[in-house]
A and B are shown apart, each in its own frame.
Chain A
Amino acid sequence: MTERRALAPFGRRRLEIVAAGAVGAYRLLAAADPDGPAPRPGQFYMLAAAERWGAGHDERPWLPRAFSFLRARRRPELVLEFLLEAIGPGTARLAELLPGDGLHVLGPLGIGFSPPGEGQRAVLCGGGIGVVPLAGWEDELERPTTLLGFRDAEHAPAASLFADPRVATDDGSAGHHGLVTELLARDIDPETVVYACGPPPMLEAVRALCGEREVPAQLALETGMACGYGACFGCAVATRNGYVRLCLEGPVMDARRLEVVR
């Protein structure tokens, strides 16, 4: 379970959507991937609808979009699950997909999470759509603490995708009224390792908190990507040692490599 990168088959492949449905404000897509390798939690895929990818709003989308997978199940063939929220031309088109539709995928890509060290306790901290890469990771860990933050009760149903989460909402309409990082601050100690994914301000708060308390943290970052496999150099993220391509060096990065999350 220490391998952090499963190699992707060379070239995108066409999968078939086998299930699609709503989870609160989000859309869950499941696609059969009979020829794909099992991904490692924290890795991602480049997704595009096989049909009508383009000429939507503003004549877009055109490039594939990067998504962490939610879970990869063996039934017995591999089924990949993705969660998304329709907020732009790419996600809007993906949200239209129904069972039987084609999905182009490239992946799994990037480097996933590293397991906790001997005696370390895992705390998962997710915000919004950033809860996604933590689901498959929660499945592999022994009794982790899972803290999830959402905007409101409309988005909070995504917590049902986890085993035993504690929930915070910005508006207090579900769970703790406030930020998930407030829950995190109460829950970390020197024996903790934090795994976090969410919007940049949340990840910056996690980075700063864990840095201050000297708690190791692995952050799954997101940035715009054209290709996902190191060709475009578009996903540059500033580290203490200069820019790196997030698709190759991440998306999961040790928080100590970052001066700030933007």
Chain B
Amino acid sequence: MIEFCGIQLAHRIVNGSGTFDAIAARRAFGDEVLERFPFAAFVSKTVTVAARGGNPPPRLWEAPAGLINSIGLPNRGLDGYLAHDLPQLAELPVPLVVNVMGFTREEVAALVGAFAGRPEVAALELNVSCPNVETGLIMGADPTETARLLERVRPLTPKPLIVKLTPNTSDVGAVAAAAQSAGADAVSLVNTLRGMAMHPRGDGTPWLGGRTGGVSGPAIRAVAVAQVAEVAERVSVPIVGMGGVQSGRHARDLLQAGATLVGVGTESFRDPLAGARIVDELASPAPRGNREIAANHA
């Protein structure tokens, strides 16, 4: 067993928030999802106070070795999540981490407060990749904003608080250090990198309905390894590392860079059981010898 913020986990692989919908998966695959659940903990899609329909399509653009998405955080809102999603997610065979996002500190506080007393919820993940509408600043892009947020919500719950860091900042290490100082129990990174695709018809308009989106997949893996290593030098709390992980070897790279857990995200779009395969590969690492080293540039 792995210990993470006091939670016992069967292995080190979890999902990235918003990359696996356990409720939808049961509609497509039935109860086999529960019997062969690929993740050691389930991180649910971002919940906001008010319900959101999401961004206008198109929402996807296949990038070289990856994906740009502009989904816009569709969700039922806090009341809908508590009434509809939470009872179903509580049936999963693994601990539940609820990812929340607010457009003001008070909204985040309301969300954290609402889950604080729910025994179904093992931990909370704070999505700080959105602008604070009061300041216009992306909360997680600025160490001071991040610290203020943690100071506001830390007293509201004894549950572990994981801060999902954005890579769209000049100094992710400083933001991570600020989060830890203000009471975060863990950090997770990387969220998607901001990206944009122009319309293929060539008239200079953006392709995505939301104009810009987030880049994920193997295209950002090297960035993730570097940022996890950088954050690991600045904090002592555990790190959930993610970004373009497709194999046990990629997961091992992030663990060696300083992560305690590894998130699988976009790879689950290619295969919903990718997480389980990565767990197996991590348990039986392939040897790395001189031949593998030479193979990189051979």
Chain A interface residues (CB < 8 Å from chain B): 7-12, 48, 54-55, 58-64, 104, 106, 109, 223-238, 242-243, 245, 247-248
Stretch at the interface among B63-71, B139-147, B230-238, B248-256: B63-71
A229 and B65 in contact, given A12-B270, A12-B271 (Cβ under 8 angstroms) = no
A43–chain B nearest beta-carbon distance, Å: 10
- Picked from A11, A60, A230, the residue with its CB within 8 Å of the CB of B24 is A230
Chain B interface residues (CB < 8 Å from chain A): 18-21, 23-25, 27-30, 32-33, 36, 45, 53-60, 62-67, 69, 71, 74, 217-218, 266, 268-273, 276
- Picked from B28, B29, B59, the residue with its CB within 8 Å of the CB of A234 is B59
B64:A231 contact, CB within 8 angstroms: no
A226:B269 contact, CB within 8 angstroms: yes
Q: Which residue of A lies closest to B66 (CB)?
A: A62
A62:B20 contact, CB within 8 angstroms: no
- Picked from A11, A227, A233, the residue with its CB within 8 Å of the CB of B273 is A11
- Picked from A12, A104, A223, A231, the residue with its CB within 8 Å of the CB of B20 is A231
B268–chain A nearest beta-carbon distance, Å: 6
B269:A245 contact, CB within 8 angstroms: no
A224:B53 contact, CB within 8 angstroms: no
Residues of B within 8 A of A104 (CB): 271
B25:A230 contact, CB within 8 angstroms: yes
Q: Which residue of A lies closest to B57 (CB)?
A: A236
Residues of B within 8 A of A238 (CB): 56-57
A248:B24 contact, CB within 8 angstroms: yes
B103–chain A nearest beta-carbon distance, Å: 20
Residues of B within 8 A of A62 (CB): 62-67, 217-218, 270
Residues of A within 8 A of B30 (CB): 7, 10
Name the prevailing secondary structure of the A interface residues: loop
17 contacts between A and B (CB under 8 A): A12-B270, A12-B272, A62-B63, A62-B66, A62-B67, A62-B217, A63-B62, A109-B28, A226-B69, A226-B266, A229-B24, A231-B269, A233-B59, A236-B59, A236-B74, A243-B57, A247-B28
**Bound form: Cα–Cα A54–B218 in Å:** 11
**Bound form: Cα–Cα A225–B58 in Å:** 10
Name the prevailing secondary structure of the B interface residues: loop
Residues of B within 8 A of A63 (CB): 62, 67, 269-270
A243 and B53 in contact, given A60-B62, A226-B60 (Cβ under 8 angstroms) = yes
B268:A231 contact, CB within 8 angstroms: yes
B24:A10 contact, CB within 8 angstroms: no
B234–chain A nearest beta-carbon distance, Å: 32
B62:A231 contact, CB within 8 angstroms: no
Residues of A within 8 A of B271 (CB): 11-12, 104, 106
Q: Which residue of A lies closest to B29 (CB)?
A: A10
Residues of A within 8 A of B217 (CB): 62
With A10-B272, A106-B271 given, can you name 5 additional A-B contacts, CB distance below 8 Å?
A12-B272, A12-B273, A61-B62, A104-B271, A238-B56
Q: Which residue of B lies closest to A107 (CB)?
A: B28
A227 and B269 in contact, given A7-B30, A8-B28, A9-B29 (Cβ under 8 angstroms) = yes
**Bound form: Cα–Cα A222–B74 in Å:** 20
| 4 residue pairs, one from A and one from B, having the closest CB atoms | A230-B24, A11-B273, A59-B64, A234-B60
A106:B272 contact, CB within 8 angstroms: yes
